[in-house]
Chains A and B, each alone.
Chain A
Amino acid sequence: MNIGEANREALRRIQTGTAILVGMATARDVVPGLRERTVLHAGPPVAWDRMCGPMRGAVIGASLFEGWAATPTEAVTLAESGALAFDSCHHHRAVGPMAGIITPSMAVWVVRNETSGGEAYATINMGLGKVLRMGAYDASVLERLAWMNCELAPIVDAALRRAGGVDVKSMIAEALGMGDEGHNRNKGATSLLIRALAPHVAGARTGDVERALAFMGHADSFFLNVAMAACKAVLDGAHGIPGSTVVTAMARNGTEFGIRVSGTGERWFTAGAPKVRGLYFPGYGPDDANPDIGDSAITETAGLGGFALAAAPAIVHFVGGTPQLALDTTLDMYEITLGEHETYRIPALDFRGTPVGIDVRKVVETGIAPVIDTGIAHREAGVGQIGAGLTTAPMECFIQALEALASPAGPAP
């Protein structure tokens, strides 16, 4: 097998991978290797002392939720003492937006790739404003965490099982025809998911059905975590093909930006996380911004988000651009990918498939780095989202990956 063939196999697995949302479960029961006092986080591995504000806030919130600490101060002491084990979500078949914190008692979506037989996991999105993933940990956050994980999750799990699961790839494909791009704009997909689940949630015998329906519908970001888990499930199926130069993960921990490549095993290729260029909500500016953070760049890796920007002219204003910029961004991404998506299609490009299968070699050759369409978090824990914009993955990551792929002994796994 040569590199060309390895890449064709990676692309084939991406195109044929499925993502079926089969139910919800408690993280400790399904996420591999998630022991007690383990905290998973977004992006490549990072130690407590190098974590950014929002991530630390989320660790504190999770520790309080788990009952490992009674006060924020105790939680900080716990983290500093080394009593908590930190690891990347990506190492445990999981993904998380922004801080991306997952701990054992949290409920997670379970998405199954029937083609590869693997699964991927993500928590329930809490919505907008003061939320855990932005580093908030006050009483309202803890109340919502408790309700989501203890009350909402069983209702949604039962609904999913009654519905026979949800085909997430199909849902995303339909949402692309509704102005979504699957990362920063999920209004269509969230609406479709609620539409699919509502009859089964409504039929629940116990639980606060009204609160469940209201919560699911109150924020367009509800679908984001589902989309991320779906992308992870598909891309994991294409990971680990010797010789393949296809990118299988892009992720940020608020300090560093990292990528993983199919042919280079568990290695991360990292560089400093860039700041996001974009539009800020009134009262905020670039000095308030946290560097780029979250596993949500898994969506771009799968041919969505910035790569599907041409499908989402409505969001371009939100990120400070024009519809022409949206078209041009997608068109640029065709230069660095190996194929066009067979499922995700863009009406504005006469239903052309999105660019998919990022090739490290093409990125370095053209000098065009993947564009990511993302939210901007405040750099202080707990403030929340302060804007949105476009950022590019650091070229340094792809150069490092190229060096590894081209090394005389072959890439080290």
Chain B
Amino acid sequence: MTAAAGRRAGPLLGGDTRVVTLGLELFAHTCAAVGVPVVHVDWSPPAGGDPRLAELLSRVTDETPCP
């Protein structure tokens, strides 16, 4: 981001900040503790983060043609 772009974009965190957290609740707890409005989304990586299973899942999406 150039200095010029930064000046045009305006304050990123100067106004009211609203936060959405995903996954670990630690971040959400910290925001709430300092009074920052936060929405926590309950999310876990698919298949517990197992890459082999994630790859298999990618081969059977709704759009995958039937055999």
How far is the CB of A220 from the nearest CB of chain B, in Å?
38
Taking the complex as formed, is B6 at the interface, i.e. its CB lies under 8 A from any CB of chain A?
no
Taking the complex as formed, is B47 at the interface, i.e. its CB lies under 8 A from any CB of chain A?
yes
How far is the CB of A54 from the nearest CB of chain B, in Å?
35
Residues on B facing A (Cβ under 8 Å): 44, 46-48, 53, 56-57, 59-67
Taking the complex as formed, is A61 at the interface, i.e. its CB lies under 8 A from any CB of chain B?
no
Taking the complex as formed, is A237 at the interface, i.e. its CB lies under 8 A from any CB of chain B?
no
Taking the complex as formed, is A406 at the interface, i.e. its CB lies under 8 A from any CB of chain B?
yes
Query: In the bound complex, do residue B66 and residue A402 qualify as a contact, i.e. CB atoms below 8 Å apart?
Result: no
A residues in contact with B62, CB < 8 Å = 2-4, 7
Known: A364-B47, A367-B47. A402 touches B64 (CB 8 A): no
Query: In the bound complex, do residue B44 and residue A2 qualify as a contact, i.e. CB atoms below 8 Å apart?
Result: no
7 tightest CB-CB pairs across the interface, nearest first? A243-B66, A410-B67, A4-B62, A406-B59, A406-B56, A365-B46, A242-B66
Docked CA distance A245–B63 (Å): 13
B residues in contact with A243, CB < 8 Å = 64-67
Interface majority SS on B: helix, strand, loop or mixed? Answer: loop
Docked CA distance A5–B65 (Å): 9
Query: In the bound complex, do residue A411 and residue B56 qualify as a contact, i.e. CB atoms below 8 Å apart?
Result: no
Map CB proximity to B onto A1-43 as digits: 1 under 8 Å, 0 otherwise.
1111111000000000000000000000000000000000000
Query: In the bound complex, do residue A364 and residue B57 qualify as a contact, i.e. CB atoms below 8 Å apart?
Result: yes
Docked CA distance A244–B60 (Å): 10
The total number of A-B Cβ pairs within 8 Å is 58
Taking the complex as formed, is A144 at the interface, i.e. its CB lies under 8 A from any CB of chain B?
no
Query: In the bound complex, do residue A402 and residue B57 qualify as a contact, i.e. CB atoms below 8 Å apart?
Result: yes
How far is the CB of A259 from the nearest CB of chain B, in Å?
16
B residues in contact with A263, CB < 8 Å = 66-67
Give the contacting residue for A3; candidates B44, B48, B56, B61; CB below 8 A.
Answer: B61
A residues in contact with B56, CB < 8 Å = 364, 402-403, 406
Chain A residues 388-413 with CB under 8 Å of chain B are: 399, 402-403, 405-406, 409-411
Taking the complex as formed, is A277 at the interface, i.e. its CB lies under 8 A from any CB of chain B?
no
Please, could you name 12 A-B residue pairs with CB atoms under 8 Å apart, sorted by A?
A1-B65, A2-B64, A2-B66, A6-B66, A243-B64, A243-B67, A244-B66, A365-B47, A365-B57, A366-B46, A367-B44, A406-B56
Query: In the bound complex, do residue A245 and residue B67 qualify as a contact, i.e. CB atoms below 8 Å apart?
Result: no
| 20 new A-B contacts at CB < 8 Å, known A1-B65, A399-B53 | A1-B66, A2-B63, A3-B61, A3-B66, A4-B61, A5-B66, A7-B62, A242-B66, A242-B67, A263-B66, A364-B47, A364-B53, A367-B44, A367-B47, A402-B57, A403-B56, A405-B60, A406-B56, A406-B57, A406-B59
Most buried by A among B44, B46, B53, B59: B53
Docked CA distance A243–B67 (Å): 6
Taking the complex as formed, is A361 at the interface, i.e. its CB lies under 8 A from any CB of chain B?
yes
Docked CA distance A405–B65 (Å): 12
Docked CA distance A182–B48 (Å): 32
Query: In the bound complex, do residue B60 and residue A3 qualify as a contact, i.e. CB atoms below 8 Å apart?
Result: yes
